[in-house]
């Protein structure tokens, strides 16, 4: 059981935070930024796909809301949580971890505490945030380290 | 209950779809085709987007036996108990099923059975062209029966719980 990485995206697709844990290979900037875009694109397209496949509610005749929760392949599981404001928190883990919804919501709360309420956040050139002066990275890592299944 | 079944050929084209429940979302032909090909692409992208992607890709290129289809999305879970399961065969054909409140193992069993029905009533049909849409009343009937059997079977388990 291992946690590989954490991504945070804004609703327009800009990646606000990405961190690899447990010695997951971090490649050069270009490949990583491409991968960030792929992850967002996949989460976005899957949300639409699931939306089309959602069942109809028997009583109201409308489609049920089914927000994307996990995507599992042979080697990894991607856990996603989208907030009401369109922020996406995505964690990649080994395939034996079934759900991280509770932890994703805790990471969101850490985000709200450390980034949203912080006066030290700067806007960068690419439209992202420079959040190195906040304590989000450190606090999130401390939280995730306590999650059972963090380390191999 | 089971909602929809799709079969996608190795190029991403939809060759079969069926609604399995009255609560299935209404999908016209275009919607289904689009779902089939979108899933086909996302199935592959999921591997590229994952963290160990590059190290996996290098390993696969040298060690993987030829003609084995790539790793890809196996399961998607969403809110309200919606689950999507995909079975990719060695030939690259994907069997995709969606359901709510059905155990994942039961869904995998159904996919294996549908694969068996596909090879019996489509592949063994001398008039069936590979990778083309599957049309056959026997195929439809057997698929419905297999899904129905698994549905009542798992429903029984649920009420026992």
Tens-digit pLDDT profile for residues A57-68 = 877 777 888 899
- The angle subtended at Cα A13 by Cα A11 and Cα A14, nearest 5°, is 105
Place of tokens 């057997």: B142
Describe the strand order of the beta sheet including A15-20 as a list of residue ranges. A15-20, A3-9, A88-93, A77-82, A68-72, B75-78, B82-88, B94-100, B2-8, B14-19
pLDDT at B155 over 80: no
pLDDT at B94: 95
Q: Do A53 and B46 touch (CB under 8 A)?
A: no
**Region of poorest pLDDT, from A77-86, A136-145, B104-113:** A136-145
CA distance A15 to chain B (A): 14
The two structure tokens encoding residue A55:
């069942």
Tens-digit pLDDT profile for residues A26-58 = 778 888 888 999 999 999 999 999 999 999 887
Interface of B with A in 42-101 (CB under 8 A): 42, 45-56, 71-80, 82, 84, 98, 100
DSSP string, B85-127: EEEE-TTS-EEEEEEES--HHHHHHHHHHHHHHHIIIIIT-TT
Tens-digit pLDDT profile for residues B18-66 = 999 988 998 999 999 999 999 999 998 998 888 875 444 444 444 555 6
* Cβ-based burial of B83 (10 A; exposed 0-12, middle 13-18, buried ≥19): buried
Q: Which residues sit opposite A3 in a β-bridge?
A: A93
Residue, of A21 and A43, whose pLDDT is higher: A43
Closest in A5, A46, A55 to B23, CB measured: A55
Residues with Cβ within 8 Å of residue B136, at least 6 apart in sequence: B121, B122, B125, B128
Locate all alpha helices (DSSP H) within A54-135, ordered by sequence.
101-111
Q: Decide: A51 and A76 in contact? Cβ < 8 Å.
A: no
Query: What does pLDDT average to over chain B?
Result: 85
Place of tokens 């050069």: A28
* Residue A73 confidence class, pLDDT cut points 50, 70, 90: very high
């Amino acid at each position: 059981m291992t946690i590989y990485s954490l991504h945070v995206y804004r609703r327009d697709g800009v990646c606000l935070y990405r961190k690899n844990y447990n010695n997951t290979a971090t490649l050069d900037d270009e490949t990583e930024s491409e991968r960030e875009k792929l992850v967002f694109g996949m989460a976005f397209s899957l949300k639409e796909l699931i939306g089309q496949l959602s069942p109809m509610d028997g009583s109201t005749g409308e489609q049920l809301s089914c927000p994307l929760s996990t995507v599992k392949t042979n080697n990894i599981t991607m856990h996603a949580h989208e907030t009401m404001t369109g922020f996406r928190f995505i964690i990649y883990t080994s395939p034996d971890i079934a759900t991280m919804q509770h932890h994703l919501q805790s990471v969101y709360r850490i985000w709200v505490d450390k980034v949203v309420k912080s006066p030290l956040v700067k806007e960068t050139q690419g439209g992202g945030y420079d959040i190195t002066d906040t304590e989000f990275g450190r606090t999130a890592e401390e939280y995730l380290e306590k999650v059972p299944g963090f380390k191999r | 209950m089971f909602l929809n079944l799709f079969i996608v050929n190795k190029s991403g084209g939809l060759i079969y779809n069926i609604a399995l429940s009255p609560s299935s979302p209404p999908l016209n032909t275009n919607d289904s085709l689009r779902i089939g090909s979108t899933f086909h692409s996302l199935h592959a992208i999921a591997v590229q987007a994952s963290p160990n992607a590059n190290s996996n890709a290098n390993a696969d290129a040298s060690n993987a036996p030829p003609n084995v289809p790539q790793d890809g999305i196996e399961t998607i879970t969403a809110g309200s108990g919606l689950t999507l399961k995909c079975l990719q065969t060695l030939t690259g054909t994907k069997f995709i099923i969606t359901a709510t409140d059905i155990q994942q193992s039961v869904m995998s069993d159904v996919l294996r059975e549908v694969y068996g029905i596909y090879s019996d009533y489509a592949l063994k049909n001398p008039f069936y062209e590979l990778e083309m849409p599957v049309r056959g009343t026997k195929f439809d009937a057997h698929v419905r029966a297999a899904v129905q059997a698994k549905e009542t079977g798992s429903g029984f388990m649920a009420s026992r719980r």
